[in-house]
Structure 1
Amino acid sequence: MDIFRENLTAVIKSGKYFVGIKETLKAVSSGEAKLVIIAGDTSVGLKTAVEKKAKKAKVEALVFAGSMKELGHACGKSFKVSCMAITDQMAAGMICSMVDGF
Structure 2
Amino acid sequence: MMDVDRSIRVAVDTGDVTLGSEKSIQSLKLGKGQLVIVAANTPKDIVEDVEYYTNLSDIPSYTYEGSSVELGSVCGKPFTVATLIVNDPGDSTILDDLR
- Deviation, 1:96, is 4.2
> C-alpha distance in 2, partners of 1:26/1:14?
22
- Deviation, 1:49, is 1.2
Q: List runs of 5+ in structure 1 lacking aligned partners.
A: none
The farther-off stretch of 45-54 and 58-67 is: 45-54
Matches within 5 A, 1:29-44: 29-44=29-44
The residue that corresponds to 1:97 in the other structure is 96
> C-alpha distance in 2, partners of 1:87/1:33?
4
> C-alpha distance in 2, partners of 1:76/1:90?
16
Is the partner of 1:78 in helix, strand or coil? coil
> C-alpha distance in 1, partners of 2:40/2:30?
25
The farther-off stretch of 28-37 and 78-87 is: 28-37
RMSD, matched Cα = 1.9
TM-score (norm 2): 0.88
Confirm or deny that 1:52 pairs with 2:52. Answer: yes
- Deviation, 1:14, is 1.6
Q: Deviations over 1:25-82 (max 9, x none)?
A: 1222223211000000011221111111111111011110000000111111111111
Between the two proteins, what is the percent identity of the paired residues? 23
Is the partner of 1:87 in helix, strand or coil? strand
The residue that corresponds to 2:14 in the other structure is 14
The answer to whether the 8 A contact 2:5-2:74 is kept is yes
The size of the alignment, in residue pairs, is 99
One-letter identity of the residue aligned with 1:99: L
The residue that corresponds to 1:83 in the other structure is 83
Q: List runs of 5+ in structure 2 lacking aligned partners.
A: none
**Higher-helix-fraction structure:** 1
